[in-house]
Amino acid sequence: MTSAKIIPFNPLDKRHLGESVGQAMLRQPVIPIATLENFEGAGVYAIYYRGDFPAYEAIARKNQDQNFVAPIYVGKAVPKGARKGVDLEASPGKVLFNRLTQHKRSIEEASNLEIADFHCRYLIVDDIWIPLGESLLIAKFDPLWNKLIDGFGNHDPGKGRHAGLRPRWDVLHPGRPWADRCQPRGETAEQIIGEARDYLRNNPPPDDSTMITT
């Protein structure tokens, strides 16, 4: 009888490093996005919803009574030039605050969402660990706006660049002026709501956000 191969624990394995970032983010306080105050740094974040939009009932139910366990979106903000190997010691500026502020504006512009229904938590972290932490968080939570309803994090493509299709997020939540200039999609809001309900039925939000394992 052969013995099972035991793989030694490696604290520097990229999965364990990603778990460490993710766990640290989930220990941060949750704050209403509407009350976000100016700060500096880059990092990862999660956005939580607990309103009454029909497609998100399963998510909102998990996030009641201060039990924020089911993010609707997970994202990151890295300093300019991070992908090009620019000065590693340069200050990241306010990239994380600016990213969350962009999301706040998108929610406020949507005709069928209320900013008071959204909260967030974030972690300021060294640049090199940001993509790893984001990947692990998305893998754990399968956030709806990451996996199915794309476009929440999109920017205005700029003048003369609206030939692409309108993001699915904007079909469901109209109001961003730049998205109205994009080309219409074939899907209707009702179809996307049906897909969202099916997705959440097949990928139910977790009951506990305290552990990330791979």
Please report, in tens digits, the pLDDT of each residue of the chain (214 residues total).
Answer: 555 666 554 445 556 566 788 899 999 999 999 999 999 999 999 999 999 999 999 999 999 988 899 999 999 999 876 555 545 566 779 999 999 999 999 999 999 999 999 999 999 998 888 998 999 999 999 999 999 999 999 988 877 667 788 999 999 999 999 999 999 999 999 999 999 999 999 999 887 665 554 4
Phi, psi of 188 (to 5 degrees): -100, 165
The parent domain of residue 47 ranges over 14-156
Is 163 within the bounds of a domain?
A: no
In a domain, 24, yes or no: yes
Tokens 């956000």 correspond to 209
Q: Is 135 contained in some domain?
A: yes
Domain count, the chain: 1
Strand order in the sheet with 71-77: 31-32, 118-124, 43-49, 71-77
* Tokens (6 digits) for 188: 């209707």
